[in-house]
């Protein structure tokens, strides 16, 4: 019997439909893997056995009924029925915790399901638990979680990226084939690149943010982590679509093409022929690691050899993205996080008067990075600075978006670029310098500023660590974008690096392994 | 671009209702100024004629009918509150008077 945890979601779905494997078995395997790896990885904040197995049993009932009803009924089943999935711990699941990686939401139990949770329930996916993240999604390494860092299954002494590091690690370490993350400046794509999995940020407005803890409301998007492009398309299809409760969710139909990515490698690779891909020179940022750059250029060469037409393009305002993002995002966050005052939810200080209580509740409940960003945002929006900072940043945002619009107007099908300037870095390596940490998102955050879809796909290893290739598309082009990704997967199907499992996967199962927090402390002490 | 003094940092922290320790104030003063230095780059761009982008979705005036629809039940809405009394959340008094 194949180890169910190694299966891609679409492979699992086929076995479930045939009755060769039950959702209960697949879910139990996921629960066991998650628990066995959690001391060393700390990917999960909640693993909910009872709920998951109940959902799995319900899925098994639906599968059995469909098998009894015949092939047409089986074919009509959603591809995610019975498939185990992880949710980043800022997605509301009714009755469950939703910490957003923060102490200020410790003990809070969500009184309602997020829109995407409702969608996942209705298609019959099995929610195994909630994953670790940088606090309030602010970070690029998952080191800013109030619940300890998450480790990278490729090297337990290194970060998985962030802020969705727990979801990325859970997929990379074969706990679950699918996970949900959020991406505001790169928080799906960058950890996907650092852990060697697929991570997609959809167009802003594609997926409802109702029930998702808000960081920056004009930038946040929800998206899938998966082992391949087909699986990512299926998960996006399940959760996307207009929701009246999120007024920024777009009335754009969810394309069924997301479920129709080419099955055969030949067909997928043929889809690359004649595609015009722009290679933005500004994305090969100063300080990019040479081994990562070499992998990206090799991937581009492979696309060209397959018949894609790759041309240099310029996105001239790329360099201004960091400053712009680190004004807009903290400004929006300072407003969104004003609600955490200990009155309606969360641990609260209640010893003093109202002001003293707010100062103590928020002072103690928020971590250092969150405080930094609230301060930046408050300052940028304050009287006397609003025009110089916030409005200025919004104007530069217009220029950044216009850079991309010019590329689409010139007839390009997609932009191909690095996802991250380097591979996974050691725990603690970038904690002392916030700006060094922010630079991890230089190639991802312009895509959020422009509201466009972007996907990171594995393209090999540099010094034994995963490198991600980023594909960026015009608004609403997730289906053709994933088709390109699928094409690249087909080209590299036999690459030796595809057969490799994360180097520290076996080590992650050691019940006596140090936790990532212990590793980080040891590294800091040794420094 | 402006340089933050320690007093500025304390003032912004107060605006944001963040209670900071002296150590935090010191550390933040350095870190915030370092981050602010990055913003200086934006002055290189002439944006006088550029309209600001608040959001990329280009939707406007999303309305719904003004009718009452079911919402969270009171019990669910109050379940996470630190202190409640009946259908109310108890908060410290903000209006003086004995």
Residue with tokens 């913003």: B39
Q: Which residues of A touch B47 (CB under 8 A)?
A: 392, 395-396, 398-399
Residue in this structure with the two tokens 């959902």, named with its chain if needed: A55
How many C-beta atoms lie closer than 10 Å to residue A311's C-beta? 11
Q: pLDDT, tens digit, for every residue of A130-176?
A: 999 999 999 999 999 999 999 999 999 999 999 999 999 999 999 99
ipTM: 0.94
Per DSSP, what are the bridge partners of residue A131? A44, A88
Residue A489 DSSP code: H
pLDDT at B97 over 70: no
In sequence order, what DSSP letters do the residues of A378-395 get, joined into one string?
HHHHSTTTTIIIIIHHHH
Backbone CA torsion sign across A66, A71, A77, A82: positive
Q: pTM of the predicted model, to two decimals? A: 0.97
Considering only CB atoms, B82 lies closest to which of A324, A342, A393, namely A342
**CB–CB of A392 and B76 under 8 A?**
no
Q: Which residues in A lie closer than 8 A to residue B45 (C-beta atoms)? A: 317, 320, 395-396, 399
pLDDT at position B98 is 52
Confidence bin at B2 (pLDDT 50/70/90): low
pLDDT of residue A30: 98
Query: In b/e form, how buried is each residue of A133-171, taking b as 16+ CB within 10 angstroms?
Result: bbbbbbbbbbbbbbbbbbbbbbbbbbbbbbbbbbbbbbb
* Chain A nearest-CA residue for B34: A435
Q: Please enumerate in sequence order all residues whose Cβ is within 8 A of that of B90, keeping only pairs 6 or more positions apart, or say none.
A: B81, B83, B84
Helix or strand or coil: residue A259?
A: helix
Q: Percent of chain B beyond pLDDT 90? A: 68
Q: What mean pLDDT is reported for chain B?
A: 91
The answer to whether the beta carbons of residues A50 and A24 sit under 8 Å apart is no
> Taking each helix axis from N to C terminus, what angle separates A290-305 and A478-491, rounded to the nearest 10 degrees?
90
Q: Which residues in chain A land under pLDDT 70?
A: 1
Question: Counting every residue, how long is chain A?
Answer: 527
Q: Assess contact for A88 and A164: CB atoms under 8 A.
A: yes
For residue A135, the Cα-to-chain-centroid distance in whole angstroms is 14
User: Cβ B34–A435 below 8 Å, yes or no?
Assistant: yes
In a domain, B24, yes or no: yes
Q: What are phi and psi of A454, to 5 degrees?
A: -145, 145
Tell me the β-bridge partners of A178. A85, A226
Residues of A in contact with B39 (CB under 8 A): 323, 326-327, 389
Q: A207: which DSSP letter?
A: B
Inside any domain, residue B13: yes
CATH number of the domain enclosing B26 = 1.10.20
Residue B20 lies in a domain: yes
Spatial CA neighbour of A186 closest among A207, A165, A169, A162: A162
B51 CB near a chain A CB, below 8 Å? yes
Query: Is residue B56 in a domain?
Result: no
User: Across the strands, what pairs with A152?
Assistant: A155
**Nearest Cα to Cα of residue A197 among A244, A164, A220:** A164
Answer whether CATH 3.40.50.2000 is correct for domain A4-263+274-320+397-526. Answer: no
| CA dist., res. A381 & res. A332, Å (int) | 9
Beta bridge partners of A277: A310, A414
Q: Which of A474, A348, A422 is nearest to A190 (CA)?
A: A422
φ/ψ (deg, to 5) at B89: -90, 135
B80–A344 CB contact, under 8 Å: yes
Distance from CA of A247 to the nearest CA of B (A): 6
Could you give the CA distance from residue A479 to residue A467 in angstroms, rounded to a whole number? 23
Sheet strand arrangement including A276-280: A44-47, A126-131, A84-88, A178-183, A221-226, A198-201, A454-462, A465-472, A414-418, A276-280, A309-313
Query: Within 10 A of A244 (CB to CB), how many other CB atoms are there?
Result: 12
Q: In the prediction, which pLDDT does A260 show?
A: 95
Chain A residues with beta carbon closer than 8 angstroms to that of B41:
319-320, 323
Q: Are A223 and A212 in contact (CB under 8 A)?
A: no
For A389, the closest of B39, B62, B72 (CB atoms) is: B39
Spatial neighbors of B20 by CB under 8 A, at least 6 apart, are A363, A371, B9, B10, B13, B28
Q: How many domains does chain B have?
A: 1
Q: What is the nearest CA distance from B23 to chain A, expressed in angstroms? A: 12
The whole-number pLDDT of residue A526 equals 86
Domain boundaries, chain A: 4-263+274-320+397-526
What does the pLDDT read at residue A171?
98
CB A347 within 8 A of CB A108: no
Residue span of the structural domain in which B21 resides: 6-44
Nearest-by-Cβ selection for A398 from B21, B38, B51: B51
Question: Mind spelling out the 3-state secondary structure of A107-155?
Answer: CCECCCCCHHHHHHHHHCCEEEEEECCCHHHCCCCCCCCCCCCCCECCE
Which tokens belong to B9? 């940092």
Q: Please check whether residue B11 lies inside any domain of the structure.
A: yes
Interface membership of A476 toward B (CB under 8 Å): no
Report the candidate in A69, A70, A68, A65 with the shortest Cα–Cα distance to residue A81.
Answer: A65
Instruction: Tell the residue number behind the tokens 């540099």, with chain if given.
Output: A462
In a domain, B60, yes or no: no
């Amino acid at each position: 019997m194949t180890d169910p945890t190694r299966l891609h979601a679409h492979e699992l779905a086929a076995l479930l439909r045939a009755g060769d494997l039950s959702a209960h078995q697949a879910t139990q395997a996921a629960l066991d893997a998650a628990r066995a790896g959690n001391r060393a990885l700390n990917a999960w904040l909640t693993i909910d056995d009872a709920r998951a197995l109940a959902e799995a049993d319900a899925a098994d009932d639906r599968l059995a009924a469909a098998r009894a009803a015949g092939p047409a009924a089986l074919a009509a089943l959603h591809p995610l029925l019975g498939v185990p999935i992880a949710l980043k711990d800022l997605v509301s699941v009714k009755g469950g915790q939703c910490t957003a990686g923060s102490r200020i939401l410790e003990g809070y139990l969500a009184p309602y399901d997020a829109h995407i949770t409702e969608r996942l329930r209705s298609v019959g996916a099995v929610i195994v638990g909630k994953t670790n993240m940088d606090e309030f999604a602010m970070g690029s390494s998952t080191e800013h979680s109030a619940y300890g860092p998450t480790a990278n299954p490729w090297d337990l002494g290194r970060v998985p990226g962030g802020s969705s590091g727990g979801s990325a690690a859970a997929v990379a370490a074969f706990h679950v084939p699918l996970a949900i993350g959020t991406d505001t400046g790169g928080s799906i794509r960058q950890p996907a690149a650092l852990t060697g999995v697929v991570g997609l940020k959809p167009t802003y407005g594609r997926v409802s943010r109702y029930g998702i803890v808000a960081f920056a409301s004009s930038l946040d998007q929800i998206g899938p982590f998966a082992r391949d492009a087909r699986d990512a398309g299926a998960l996006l299809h399940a959760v996307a679509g207009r929701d009246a409760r999120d007024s920024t969710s777009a009335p754009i139909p969810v394309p069924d093409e997301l479920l129709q990515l080419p099955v055969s490698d030949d067909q997928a690779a043929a889809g690359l022929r004649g595609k015009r891909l722009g290679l933005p020179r500004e994305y090969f940022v100063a300080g990019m690691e040479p081994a990562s750059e070499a992998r990206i250029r090799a991937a581009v060469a492979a696309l060209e050899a397959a018949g894609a037409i790759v041309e240099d393009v310029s996105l001239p305002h790329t360099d201004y993205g960091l400053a712009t993002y680190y004004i807009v995002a903290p400004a929006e966050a300072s407003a969104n996080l004003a609600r955490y005052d200990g009155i309606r939810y969360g641990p609260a200080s209640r010893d003093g008067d109202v002001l003293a209580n707010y100062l103590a509740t928020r002072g103690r409940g928020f971590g250092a990075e969150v405080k930094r960003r609230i301060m930046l945002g408050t300052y940028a929006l304050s009287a006397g600075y609003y025009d110089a900072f916030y409005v200025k940043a919004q104007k530069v945002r217009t220029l950044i978006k216009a850079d991309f619009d010019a590329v689409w107007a010139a007839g390009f099908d997609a932009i191909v670029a690095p996802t991250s300037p380097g591979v996974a870095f050691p725990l603690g390596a970038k904690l002392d310098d916030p700006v060094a940490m922010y630079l991890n998102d230089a190639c991802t955050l312009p895509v959020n500023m422009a509201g466009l879809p972007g996907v990171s796909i594995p393209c090999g290893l540099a010094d034994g660590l995963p490198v991600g290739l980023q594909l960026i598309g015009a608004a609403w082009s997730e289906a053709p974008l994933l088709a390109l990704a699928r094409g690249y997967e087909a080209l590299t199907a036999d690459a030796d690096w595809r057969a490799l499992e994360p180097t520290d996967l076996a080590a992650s199962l050691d019940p006596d392994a140090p936790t990532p927090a212990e590793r980080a402390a040891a590294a800091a002490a040794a420094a | 671009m402006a340089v933050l003094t320690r007093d500025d940092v304390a003032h912004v922290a107060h605006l944001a209702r963040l209670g900071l320790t002296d150590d935090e104030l010191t550390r933040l003063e350095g870190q915030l100024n370092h981050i602010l230095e990055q913003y200086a780059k934006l002055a290189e761009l002439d944006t006088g004629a550029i309209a600001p982008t608040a959001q990329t979705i280009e939707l406007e005036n999303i309305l719904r009918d003004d009718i009452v629809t079911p919402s969270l039940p009171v019990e669910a809405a109050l379940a996470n509150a630190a202190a409640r009394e009946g259908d109310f959340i108890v908060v410290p008094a903000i209006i003086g008077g004995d």
